[in-house]
Structure 1
């Protein structure tokens, strides 16, 4: 089953973390994920939330806002794609993720491909 593991962390807490240890932990985590095989992939980091731009459209009016949508200390920081047997295995990987010590890890199953259109609805 395919999951996206979304990393949300407190940027201040992460900046105050012991950096050498944190990046060594991430190197070990990425190596373990690679050795596990399957379709799982190393994560992608995002720039800090201060670099975000949020677009919101209400009716015919569009707002462009500087910064993230959510007003919270924890911000979306990056993600990993997992291809594992089940949710329990995805949870085990989330527990091992170094950022779990500095925020929250959201595990979300990927949607199946879009359903094929019903041919009976086609005109012509």
Structure 2
């Protein structure tokens, strides 16, 4: 089963890290991704640009509106994601615990929902 691990942390707190500490964390993230990929447990993953680069799109009454920034003000910002392959939620949680930025913020783990080609969805 696939799980999405969403990595959140406070960008302000991360900006307080020294360049050496930031670079070391990035090397840890690369190594973590390589190890998970080699084990067949990471299907994809990417870091995201800072929250000030976000654009939020909404459609209401058939009209598209665009807002600069994230959809909500939060203490932690979405920093990246790992698409994991795990046998169950317990294994997905164990894998998420290996993601280095979890030490600074949080990792939200959610099962990936599969939509059938006929559009039927059993989760609604």
TM-score range, shorter chain: 0.7 to 0.9
* Distance in structure 2 (CA, Å) of the matches to 1:110 and 1:4: 6
How much has 1:102 moved relative to structure 2? 1.8
How much has 1:114 moved relative to structure 2? 1.9
Query: Where does structure 1 lack aligned partners over 5 or more consecutive residues?
Result: 119-124
* Distance in structure 1 (CA, Å) of the matches to 2:82 and 2:14: 18
Give me the CA root mean square deviation.
2.0
Alignment of 1:96-111 (within 5 A): 96-111=98-113
Alignment of 1:68-79 (within 5 A): 68-79=70-81
TM-score (norm 2): 0.81
Query: Where does structure 2 lack aligned partners over 5 or more consecutive residues?
Result: none
Query: Which residue in 2 is equivalent to 1:19?
Result: 22
Q: Who wins on radius of gyration, i.e. which is larger?
A: 1
How much has 1:42 moved relative to structure 2? 4.4
Query: Which residue in 1 is equivalent to 2:10?
Result: 10
